[in-house]
Amino acid sequence: MALIFILSATPDLRVAPDPLADYVLRKLGHLAVFGVLAVLVAWAWSGPRPEVLGFAVAVGYGILDELHQTSVAGRVGDPLDVAIDAAGAAMGVTVWAWWDRRRVDTRAGRH
């Protein structure tokens, strides 16, 4: 979350000199970072339905991130980014839930 905040607080953030490459890389970054955030929250939660909590926290923080960007020079809050954040979170927790079930099944001797 701190990394996301620092990146969001960077005015006029650019990751590539070419505008199209910059756009694509930033959107892929949203997918990856919010997917990782969702997985880390799910992994840390020992209660019921960790994937739901991971998804909810990542999307909630994605909304807060976009609101934060509205106060940073050269940045805007974009609802499309929240949708991309949600897609990344969904992909992350889907893979995590599959892996976690597989790990539990292997421990129980089921294949």
Q: Where are the domains of the chain?
A: 18-106
Name residue 23's amino acid: Y
Q: What is the pLDDT of residue 103?
A: 75
Contact 31, 12 (CB under 8 A): no
Residue 17, φ and ψ in degrees, nearest 5: -70, -30
What does pTM read for this prediction?
A: 0.88
d(C-alpha 34, C-alpha 49), whole Å: 18
Which pLDDT tens digit goes with each residue over 9-31?
A: 999 899 999 999 999 999 999 99
The C-alpha torsion from 22 through 27 and 33 to 37, rounded to 10°, is: 160
d(CA 30, CA 33): 5
pLDDT band for position 100 (50/70/90)? confident
Asked if residue 105 has pLDDT above 90, the reply is no
